[in-house]
A and B are shown apart, each in its own frame.
Chain A
Amino acid sequence: MSAFREGGHFPDGTTLGVGAALVALPFLLPSVTLASELVVFAVATLSCTFLLGLVGLLSFGQGLFFGLGAYVSGVLLREHGLGTLPAVAAAAGFSFLAAGLLAFLAVRRQGVYFVMLTLAFAQMGYFAMLALKDVTGGENGLTGVPRPPLLAGAGTLSGPEAVYAFLAGLAFAAYLLVQRIGCSPFGSVLRAIRQNEARAEALGYDTRRFKIAAFALAGLLAGLAGAMHTVFLGFVPPNAIELEMSERLIIMAIIGGAGAPAGAFVGAGFYVLMADWLSTLWPRWLMLIGVLLIAIVLFLREGVWGGAMLLLARLRRARRRG
């Protein structure tokens, strides 16, 4: 079911499927760290999928909020001795506010102009990071970020398995939140805005406010993913806030399909695994991703996940008939 398009139910079979996949991933993949990387990017992609699939907003700025979350959590963990959980929560909250503030400007424009504004934000973020070299470490990144226990000395993250369990738990929470929103009254307004914004306004919805709220929420998701990335790596690489990050997140969202939140997990999974596999075979593997993206945009508009669901529905119908 393309849950963002029609509403769907919560919880449904997909909820169970995503939960099961998160449990199975470290056993299925060659390494736990690969599984961790996958869930981090799944949450980051979820922020693009949510904006694009439910609200119809294309943002080239999600890498900025990813980077903000990464740096804010890094600084809090390194300089202020916060526990992992409060640092992650603070980073997500900070990104939520920053995105809300920028959305206040961005929603004044629509279509291409909105996209250009988000692009400009992402660019500014990278140069702000370079300018604030004393805080961010500039081009060297923020190194030596500790990985303290979750909360006040309890819940040590010893070993990559514990880290994965923590990150997968956050990813599942993020998924539940987005799926819940997708079939809530609030979600129905966002869906209405995507379909026909002028009509939604004529019905009495202050569409700007709803778009600001949605953008802030997407900022929260991206910021959460950035903080998860910091916890995962133990440092903040400068590419966490590069423009290319924004680009990568959109590519993952489109590969997976923006019609349902599960598409973010499929898209991020596909990209991360392809990168892991192809990069050992050919250093120019990104070209293949380009080809794949073209193929999906031309022939599989709903992405890998949406295509699979469509196929499943067709098979079911055929069986009922036969």
Chain B
Amino acid sequence: MAEAPPPLLAARGLGVRFGDFRALSEVTLEVAAGALHAIIGPNGAGKTTLFNVLTGRLRPSEGIVTLAGRDVTRLPAHRRVHLGMARSFQVTNIFADLTVAENLRLAIQAVDGWEPWVFWRGRSALPAAAGRVEALLEEAGLASRAAWRAGDLSHGGQRALEIGMALAADPRIVFLDEPLAGMGIDDVHRTKELIHNLVPARTVVLIEHNMRVVLDIADRITVLAQGRPIAEGPPAAIRANAAVRDAYLGSGM
């Protein structure tokens, strides 16, 4: 049997305390390069907190996070983006008053070397950036709404823009926090395909409540309950796991 490749992302012994409340304890996680790794669990299980720690928005009280073998535990979020991490947010987090195209252009510009510091010329000077914006608009299915004010997009459109912004930095690993939440049925299908097509070129870590989608597209699933991982494995094993059923999935499976 071939030796397993080293994980792209690894977390060891992560703990987060807010005062007396332990939001996360002893979370250990390995995400293989090119995998679509889902994190599921009931509300309040600590999924988003785990995302915030992995992407640098929150410092863990204990434990380490490594990206491609490099310890990134203390790196702020903006530095991690430049190492190839990107994320979308559970609550839609866009620049509502700017156009859809400008939202994406800002996301591209962020990783474009010294470009963000250029103050002596206009923004549209680089055709390469314009091409990238076009490509992302296509990928997110927003090409016809490029000039819209982002806040005027439908909920589904804003969720798609979120994902587009996460992809703009051409990340190695993308963290998607409930990308399907509140989407209509057509959007769910389209977005599911979009996410599925990201791998194996990119690695995806996904928080999602839509079990049908998760069981369908995930390679591996980690189940969190009360801040601790209670099970991990391929979808079939998770579906069959009695502890998971008790803690979370209920009788609907």
Contact = CB atoms under 8 A, between A and B. Distances in A.
B119 A184 contact: yes
Contacts of B105: 188
B136 interface: no
Contacts of A157: none
Contacts of B122: 9-10, 183-184
Interface stretch (B62-70, B75-83, B212-220, B236-244): B75-83
Contact of A192 (B55, B89, B106, B111): B106
B82 A204 contact: yes
Contacts of B102: 7, 188
B95 interface: yes
Interface in A209-252: 210, 213
B77 A202 contact: yes
Interface string A175-211: 0000011011111110110011011111111110010
Contacts of B33: none
Contact of A206 (B55, B78, B121): B78
Nearest to A204: B81
Interface residues of B, number: 35
Nearest to B109: A185
A203 B115 CA distance: 14
Contacts of A78: none
Given A192-B106, A195-B96, A196-B95, A202 B120 contact: no
Contact of B110 (A191, A196, A205): A205
B81 to A, nearest CB: 3
Contact of B93 (A186, A199, A204, A205): A199
Given A195-B97, A196-B93, A198-B93, A203 B107 contact: yes
B118 A186 contact: yes
A202 B87 CA distance: 7
B110 A204 contact: yes
Contact of B119 (A6, A181, A192, A202): A181
Interface in A1-27: 5-7, 9-10
B93 A203 contact: no
B115 to A, nearest CB: 5
A206 B106 CA distance: 13
A185 B97 contact: no
B94 A188 contact: no
A9 B79 CA distance: 31
B54 to A, nearest CB: 13
B123 A183 contact: yes
Given A189-B116, A202-B93, A184 B78 contact: no
Main DSSP-derived SS at the A contact region: helix
B106 A203 contact: yes
Nearest to A217: B119
Contacts of A203: 78, 81, 106-107, 110, 165, 168-169
Interface in B104-135: 105-107, 109-111, 115-123
Contacts of B81: 202-204
B199 interface: no
A201 B77 contact: yes
Contacts of A6: 98
Contacts of A189: 106, 109, 116
B209 interface: no
B116 A205 contact: yes
Given A196-B94, A198-B93, A184 B123 contact: yes
Contacts of B118: 184-186
A10 B123 CA distance: 11
Q: Looking at A5, A196, A198, A203, which has the most chain B CB atoms within 10 Å of its CB?
A: A203
Contacts of B93: 196, 198-199, 202
A5 B81 CA distance: 26
A110 to B, nearest CB: 15
A196 B87 CA distance: 15
Nearest to B125: A185
B87 A188 contact: no
Interface string B33-71: 000000000000000000000010100000000000000
B30 to A, nearest CB: 24
Contact of A199 (B82, B95, B97, B109): B95
Contacts of A198: 93
Contact of B95 (A183, A185, A186, A195): A195
B106 A7 contact: no
B165 to A, nearest CB: 7
A201 B78 CA distance: 5
30 contacts: A5-B97, A6-B98, A7-B102, A10-B122, A180-B119, A180-B120, A184-B120, A184-B122, A184-B123, A185-B115, A185-B116, A185-B119, A186-B117, A188-B102, A188-B105, A188-B109, A192-B98, A195-B96, A196-B94, A196-B95, A198-B93, A199-B89, A202-B77, A202-B81, A203-B169, A204-B78, A204-B81, A204-B111, A206-B76, A207-B78
Given A185-B118, A204-B82, 16 more contacts: A180-B120, A184-B119, A184-B121, A185-B109, A185-B117, A186-B119, A192-B95, A196-B95, A199-B93, A201-B76, A201-B77, A202-B78, A203-B107, A204-B78, A204-B111, A205-B110
Q: Which 3 A-B pairs have the closest CB atoms?
A: A204-B81, A204-B110, A186-B119
